Amino acid sequence: MFFSPFRLYILIALLSGVNMFSQGGDILIQQYSKGPELNQIYSKWSFSIGPEVNRINSDLNTASPTITVGGMINIEYRFSKTVGLISGLKFVPISYRYVFENSLGKDRLQYLTIPLILKLNPFEKISFGLGMLYNHYEKGQRILRFKDAEVITEYPEGVFSNPLGFSAQVGYHFWSRFNATINYRWAKKYSPANQPQSNNSSGLQASLTYNFLRSLKIQ
């Protein structure tokens, strides 16, 4: 007989499979019609700029830091939505006071810093960073204040050099293009034992940057 139980079973199975395939195709079309989720979209490249407030001290025993204001331009490359690499150029002025003989001394030093920071974005608005710094010494001066006079002396070449450093930071992203970051950095390099000045420094930095250019967003 044409419609044997076995053939009837095969026919029912084929019709069920066609129906399931049709439903699966409809679901797939619906998913693609929705497009990627917004929280999975990010830019590969971004450029930001902004000011940075520094409170960095020397490791001299009597030194105490003063507040300075610098600036930066950052370039960020995202390997994925949650992992990126930051570099760029930072202008970092460092200033601290100390006791020098019978006067109060103050050093004003200027560095150009190139960071290389691994940035993690485990949350939508909060990020963490850890990396290295190359600090290129530009110039510096010593200011000695006496009771009735102030003496300013430019430091000669060779007193300060280019120390390497490390950085640990936490950032907060807001208003789509702004980032506020608190950064702890330290830098070290050998200084002669008979030299009163030190190449070692550490302290806090706080910055506010604006993302002025970024690549097309991808998923």
Q: What is the pTM (predicted TM-score) of this model?
A: 0.79
- Which tokens in the block code for residue 65? 């830091």
> In the structure, what pLDDT confidence band is assigned to residue 4 with cuts at 50, 70 and 90?
low
Residue 18 phi, psi dihedral angles, 5° rounding: -60, -40
User: Are the C-beta atoms of 104 and 93 separated by less than 8 Å?
Assistant: no
Q: CA of 66: how far to CAs of 78, 145, 170, in Å?
A: 35, 16, 22
Tell me how far apart the alpha carbons of residues 157 and 135 are, in angstroms, rounded to a whole number: 16
CB 129 within 8 A of CB 168: yes
| Whether residue 80 has pLDDT greater than 80 | yes
Q: Is the pLDDT of residue 204 over 80?
A: yes
Residue 99's pLDDT is 86
Computed over every residue of the chain, the mean pLDDT equals 85
pLDDT at 32 (0 to 100): 39
Higher pLDDT, 24 or 139: 139
**Which residue has better confidence, 10 or 214?**
214
Residue given tokens 């936490």 in the structure block:
170
